[in-house]
Amino acid sequence: MTKRKLSFIGLLIVVSLLGVMLTGCSSTATTDSKEIKIGGNFELTGGVANFGKQTMQGIQLAFKEANAAGGVLGKKLVLVTADNKSEPSEATNAITKLITQDKVVMVLGPIASSNVLATLQVGQDNKVPVLTATGTNSKITVDNGKVKPYAFRACFIDPFQGSVMANFATKTLKAKTAVIYIDSSSDYSKGLAESFEAQFVKNGGVIVAKEAFLQKDQDFKATLTKIKGMNADTIFIPAYYEEVGKISKQAREIGITTPLIGTDGFDDPKVVDIAGAEALNNTFFSNHYSAQDTDPRIQKFVAAYKAEYGQEPSALAALGYDSALMAIDAIKRANSADPVKLRDALEQTKNLQVVTGVITLDGDHNPIKSAVVIEMKDGKQVFKEKINP
């Protein structure tokens, strides 16, 4: 082989190696020139699948409206979804796929706090922001006093939500004693129980007992019979709709007439199917918004959601829509789909009008927002009162 041929082959090898190196060094979150890919890490199957689907539908509606108006930065928004099966380990797998294979620039979700917590390190390691619409556990954005730079949320946090229901119990229900009945397998449930207890005791109330169950339990009557004998003024159940429905049904079956109170995990139409409308009378829960609110922005969203999906939007759907608006706003202000620039823009979110109110993120990446208390009457949600932060 001649010297000239050897030189030519050597040049080809160098060029090939440079190509490989450049590919390897490129951003993990690239996107087609005509599209901006945003990941959706959702509970589409498993224990809280209804929540995941509702939140995803809210996001899809916001993206559809944005794309119909010309897109963002002249590009089409594309939601790339992955099913985390309502499990933390699967949530980790889902975000890894979304970032490394699908090359998304931001990840929306998951829904449940435990699942969100399982994904954050992957987002941090890859410098891709994670924005949860509904994860309320305080450790999602701050842990050991340190703010997680790539973690954000569109909802209020558990300490606020737990305090809201403790204040409601003592001030509106005039409760002096309470039993806390938690899902011990859920970070969401445990965090809410802590904040409720602290505020209830601060208000002069007494926690007469703390009982626990596990997600996917079916029979609660033994513990409920024990709770019945305590004659507490209220029972606080910070859990998701599947267990809430079963607990409410079985509690009424054994003669518990005490007000049952809880948090946004109550908010799903399926809870009525499980418990029955009558069993849910005299139950109350904190929530992010009420579809019965007469605010024109809320009613516009409710009408659009009904037209798209044929059902009334839950708070999860509204929060999904809000998280999409936060993402769109960040892309516009960053004038870029670069993940690091999007992180910076999210951090500076201020006075953004969304369905559930006006969002300004504080220094801990948490929105300062109001909450509402919903009462269940004959299977229907009724607006009870609004609580400001």
Q: Are 224 and 256 in contact (CB under 8 A)?
A: yes
Count Cβ atoms below 10 Å from residue 278 Cβ, excluding itself. 12
Name residues whose C-beta falls within 8 Å of residue 319's C-beta, 6 or more positions apart in sequence.
55, 58, 133, 134, 154, 155, 288, 356
> What CATH number should be reported for the domain holding residue 126?
3.40.50.2300
Higher pLDDT pick, 25 / 323: 323
pLDDT, position 16: 46
Least confident range from 233-237, 341-345, 349-353, 384-388: namely 384-388
Tens digit of pLDDT for each residue in 182-198?
Answer: 999 998 899 999 999 99
- Band the pLDDT of 29: cuts 50, 70, 90: very low
Higher pLDDT pick, 1 / 181: 181
Average pLDDT over residues 331-357: 97
Out of 287, 312, 343, pick the residue that ends a domain: 287
pLDDT, position 12: 46
Query: How many domains does the structure of the chain reveal?
Result: 2
Q: Do both 182 and 147 map to the same domain?
A: no
**Segments forming the whole domain that contains residue 223:** 158-287
Least confident range from 4-8, 175-179, 225-229, 338-342: namely 4-8
Out of 223, 253, 287, pick the residue that ends a domain: 287
- Give the integer Cα–Cα distance in Å for 69 and 63: 10
Name residues whose C-beta falls within 8 Å of residue 351's C-beta, 6 or more positions apart in sequence.
358, 359, 360
Tens digit of pLDDT for each residue in 50-98?
Answer: 999 999 999 999 999 999 999 999 999 999 999 999 999 999 999 999 9
- Band the pLDDT of 11: cuts 50, 70, 90: very low
Residues of the chain with pLDDT > 70, as a percent, come to 92
Tens digit of pLDDT for each residue in 226-266?
Answer: 999 999 999 999 999 999 999 999 999 999 999 999 999 99
Out of 245, 265, 287, pick the residue that ends a domain: 287
pLDDT, position 294: 85
Q: Do both 319 and 228 map to the same domain?
A: no
- Give the integer Cα–Cα distance in Å for 84 and 86: 5
